[in-house]
A = this chain, B = another copy of it.
Amino acid sequence: MSFKLHSRLQLDSIEIGRFTLSQLLLINDSQYPWLVLVPERNNITEIYQLSEQDQIQLQRESCILAKTLAEAFKADKMNIAAIGNMVPQLHIHHIVRYKNDVAWPAPVWGKFDAIPYTELQFNKIKKMLLTTLKENLKSSV
């Protein structure tokens, strides 16, 4: 069975590329650099349901992504989370946080409505992501 991204994730995000295990999505909210990893495995809602090999690969991809984002965007803190109360398909948030962002120090979920990127903003962040992640992505969109 081929992998299909949950419709809500499709609506809220833009695909940037793929790691070995996971799709890399950018949440279309210009208030925070907010990326999501979605392991391309069907019927998985929790990290522990992945095979041990996939768990390790996910940790590897998550750490590469978090370190790259923290450095490229000069984050004050990374917020990394598997919540999934609304969208059961396993997806792991990676959010760049600043001490002066609109939601700080609260977590971002449910705080403010998304403010979509303008085309100019989107092109800029996409270029930055592809440049900094290019050696780690298997493919890009």
On A, residues with C-beta under 8 Å from B are 45-48, 55-56, 58-60, 62-64, 66-67, 70, 77-86, 88, 97, 104-107, 109-110
Given contacts A48-B67, A105-B86, contact A80 B81 (CB under 8 A): yes
Q: How far is the CA of A39 from the CA of B104 in the complex (A)?
A: 25
The number of times this chain is found in the oligomer is 2
Which of B59, B60, B66, B77 is within 8 Å of A85, CB to CB?
B77
Interface pair A66/B47, CB less than 8 Å apart: yes
Q: How far is the CB of A19 from chain B (nearest CB, A)?
A: 15
Q: Which residues of B contact A86 (CB under 8 A)?
A: 105
Q: Which residues of B contact A80 (CB under 8 A)?
A: 47, 81-82
Which of B62, B78, B79, B81 is within 8 Å of A79, CB to CB?
B81
Which of B55, B66, B97 is within 8 Å of A63, CB to CB?
B55
